[in-house]
Structure 1
Amino acid sequence: MSTYTPPPSGSRIIIVGAGAFGLSTAYALSLKKKYQISVFDRYQVPVPDAASTDISKVVRMDYGLATQNMQLMIEGLPLWEQWNKERAAQGKTPVFHKTGAVFFSKNGQYSDYGIQSMQSIREAGYGHVIEELTPQAIMERFPHFKLAVENGYDTAYFNKEAGWCDSSEAIKHVYEKCVNNGIQFILGANTGCFEKLYRQENKVLGIQTKDQKIHRADRVIIATGPWTASLIDLGDKLTATGQIVIHFKPPASSIFSTFKNQPVWSADPGFYGFPTTTDGKLKVALHSLGYYNLREIDGKSVPRTQVTHQDDTIPLKALKEFREFLAKFFPQTTSMDVYYSRVCWYSDSQDSNFLVTPHPGLENIIIASGDSGHGMKFLPVVGLKIAQIVEGIESDYSRAWGWREVNSDSAAFDAMRACKSADMKPLQLEDTNNEDTKMCTAQDLKAAVPRL
């Protein structure tokens, strides 16, 4: 096993991947003003099939018993506010919208996750941001949840510091900060596309791109999100899973279009959603077990996205699950067609903590991945922690995110996910033996009831 040595001043650092982890790390390292930093990606920023390229992502400190994530978010919230000030000075829209978030439980009793989240937040000294809501208070304050309350989602608390980020715009914002700090970007299908590590035995000396050019570096950081497990040998440390996102376009007369003070929300089992956007999109997503796309050569799951499969939608099974849940939570959507749908890819670790660590079998390489579906909210702050790991500084984060063996007792998804058991396995997309894994047709996505 190799011993990690931090890069000396003047080192050239290559970061592979221009998504949330890659850009946040690049910017944090550029603040040191002592490295030559280059970022490689096969697409322009924002990268079209990155999980971070989206209309919205949740920003929350509510993490149940995972208090380290809560503390990281508490540290990150002022940076989101600072970015908004920077945007305002440039005449641009905010990237963070502090709408608050409502965390629903059912049948008059908080879920364990809700109880644990509120307790952790209060013990951290932030109890003032929590407001427990009665069923009547939910309906009066947020009338678009009235039918959800009547159908059993009648217990909730409101966190006023939570909200959502315009994730694509946030990625553009940190990219501009990187460019202004002199970071070099090599982007393009051939020139910026990582093909393999350039190495002598176990010593990494740089990378080779698809155009067969060698780019030497003193340190290589692999921040390729859900592609990481299929590019670098990590054993079973990371797996790519596809998660489901849908959009509706409610009619102008709908309460989703007319009611303005909409918060982010989450509700068991694993569903969550966002305020209607200014252009009328209502996004709902599912944080769950997900789906695999296993390649034949080695059985690794590799993202299958709309960049290479333009007609992809979501599996039939997923659509059924959404319709069943929404029939109770947002019955108004029953008469609405699904306007847009996609599979969004996570890089899942075995315990839902990030994997940010030197590779134990290779010199001069850092893995910065394992978002596990909750990385984007930390965009302004996660790079600062990754930069410390690059520089060999030990912390609670380096220990939690390090190369680790996860036994069956600690292998688990985070508390918001619909699947609570790591023993279960995702289904294979487009499995010829399973009709439920086929992609929906345009007809499938239409409402199944007559329109009035």
Structure 2
Amino acid sequence: MYTAPKPNSKIIIVGAGCFGLSTAYALSKDKAKEYDIWVFDRGESIPISDAASTDISKAVRMDYGNNTLYMHLAVEAIDAWKQWNAERAEKKLVPVYHNTGMLIFSANGQYAEYEKDNMRSIREAGFGDYIEELNADQLKERYPYLTDTVDNGYDIAYANKVGGWCNSSESIKHLYGECIQNGVKFVLGNEAGRFEKLQVDGRHVRGIITADKKEHTADRVIVAAGSWTPSVIDMHRQAIATGQYVIHFSLSKEDQERMATFPVWSADVSNTGFYGFPCNENGILKIAKHSTGYLNPSSVLNQKISVPRTQSTNPNDTIPKSALAEARAFLKKFLPFTDALDVVYSRVCWYSDSIDGDFIIAPHPDYDHLIVATGDSGHAMKFLPVIGDKIRDIVEDTDSQYKQAWAWKKKEAPKGFYDRPLLVKEGDQDIRMATMDELRAYNKD
């Protein structure tokens, strides 16, 4: 049976991404407990180069369909993002959160069920004044640069004035600084910081062993290794590492000015999976797809699982050839002007997809004194300022709705959960990474 750590306990956190840093900060804020907190990561510096949280932007939205648990948590997080901005402004630092609003498209004049659920949940929670429904004519009037988009069938949308995006890498740096200020200790690097295995005595976890063969004892261990979690701890097939793709375009000054009011958007997302962002200060337009994702099978922990393949170890990787074709076909209708633009950067971003899309933050059933914090399922970063508080409550065995929602469920995977396309396949010219030539524009003037 899991018990909460006592005051002055030493707590090791494996992973310095979204869950790991937020947890370290939350635990370090409790001066009465005086925990001795250590964070280990194989990366050489923070932000960790190939973590999902290391990016130019992540969506911050409260639109969660019928899942009001995450909607209310997002509202709490948005308030915390605003507080971070205020604290940074006092130090003359740039904001990390940008409340551009959200523009949620459906197609062919009819809202999809997901969009209907979004609006109903938001209104029933008392936030109805955030929402404005827009028809085709209203969309064209407000966003004239989306005239082709509307004419191509994305002709109905609602605008949510609350939400937007965070500069995720800068946010991680911000939180890292807060952790350092609170006395959190970090061990980084491919040898000293790389988790190799648990130090165990039967069921009792006594600490971790790193790649340099050193033993690090602790009263509690929290594994928050993101999409690498199933490859370092047996997750009993409750989560899988999936690759989701991202592409960037570099816009001209003219296009940046033309699209200056572009908010964060999704395009009939329950059917297409596509969403994107306004240009950042460098003129980069980022577009991504949330879907079943790609797998990179490997044999680890005596089982066949999917293991992240990133540009840290494969620097010439782009995105799968099939993903590029899919993105170009979508954009030909949604943002047709991008046909004439090169893809200037592309990346496979790795998620830890849980079976039901819920986070998995709970004691591990095989061990005492081990907590796992994983299953981000591609929607965790928006909660960065507050998710650590919820994880801390679980570590301290405090009952809450989050503890129940994110408990270890021992679920069977739904049909098709592990039946996803391969990232690459040696010798197969159709299942491979796109070449740099293929990333160039179809129709350059």
Compute the TM-score of the two structures, normalised by the length of structure 2: 0.96
CA distance in 2, matches of 1:309, 1:432: 14
SS in 2 for 1:25: helix
Unaligned 5+ runs, structure 1: 412-420
Counterpart position of 1:414 = none
From 409, 432, 435, the equivalent of 2:426 is: 432
Does the CA contact (< 8 Å) of 1:240 and 1:292 recur in 2? yes
Does the CA contact (< 8 Å) of 1:21 and 1:382 recur in 2? yes
Counterpart position of 2:364 = 359
Q: Offset at 1:278?
A: 1.2
SS in 2 for 1:428: coil
Counterpart position of 1:14 = 12
Moved more, 423-432 or 318-327: 423-432
Counterpart position of 1:238 = 239
Change (3 A) 1:433 1:309: closer
CA distance in 2, matches of 1:314, 1:163: 26
Asked whether 1:448 is paired with 2:442, we answer yes
Task: Map 1:214-225 onto structure 2 (within 5 A).
Answer: 214-225=215-226
CA distance in 2, matches of 1:435, 1:240: 23
CA distance in 1, matches of 2:151, 2:242: 34
Asked whether 1:27 is paired with 2:25, we answer yes
From 350, 353, 364, the equivalent of 1:348 is: 353
Does the CA contact (< 8 Å) of 2:355 and 2:417 recur in 1? no
Counterpart position of 1:147 = 148
Q: Offset at 1:77?
A: 1.1
SS in 1 for 2:309: coil
CA distance in 1, matches of 2:416, 2:118: 21
Does the CA contact (< 8 Å) of 2:59 and 2:264 recur in 1? yes
Q: Offset at 1:226?
A: 0.1
Does the CA contact (< 8 Å) of 2:342 and 2:440 recur in 1? yes
Asked whether 1:91 is paired with 2:92, we answer yes
Asked whether 1:260 is paired with 2:263, we answer no
Deviation string, structure 1 residues 316-335 (Cα, Å, up to 9, x no partner): 10001001100000000011
SS in 1 for 2:200: strand
Q: Offset at 1:433?
A: 6.5
- The amino acid that maps onto 2:295 is Y
Q: Offset at 1:143?
A: 2.3
- The amino acid that maps onto 1:208 is I
CA distance in 2, matches of 1:122, 1:427: 38
Q: Percent identity among equivalent residues?
A: 52
Q: Which runs of 4+ in 1 moved over 6 A?
A: none
Deviation string, structure 1 residues 210-238 (Cα, Å, up to 9, x no partner): 11111100000000000000000111011
Task: Map 1:124-163 onto structure 2 (within 5 A).
Answer: 124-163=125-164
CA distance in 1, matches of 2:83, 2:427: 51
Does the CA contact (< 8 Å) of 2:294 and 2:421 recur in 1? yes
Does the CA contact (< 8 Å) of 1:250 and 1:257 recur in 2? no
Counterpart position of 2:402 = 397
Q: Offset at 1:253?
A: 2.7
CA distance in 2, matches of 1:424, 1:52: 24
Change (3 A) 1:424 1:207: closer
- The amino acid that maps onto 1:215 is H
Unaligned 5+ runs, structure 2: none
Task: Map 1:4-83 onto structure 2 (within 5 A).
Answer: 4-33=2-31, 34=33, 35-43=35-43, 44-83=45-84
Does the CA contact (< 8 Å) of 2:50 and 2:311 recur in 1? yes
CA distance in 2, matches of 1:61, 1:288: 19
Q: Offset at 1:405?
A: 2.7
Q: Offset at 1:202?
A: 1.5
CA distance in 2, matches of 1:141, 1:365: 52
Q: Offset at 1:374?
A: 0.1
Counterpart position of 1:273 = 276
Q: Offset at 1:431?
A: 1.4
Q: Offset at 1:423?
A: 4.5
CA distance in 2, matches of 1:192, 1:400: 31
Deviation string, structure 1 residues 196-220 (Cα, Å, up to 9, x no partner): 1111121100001111111100000
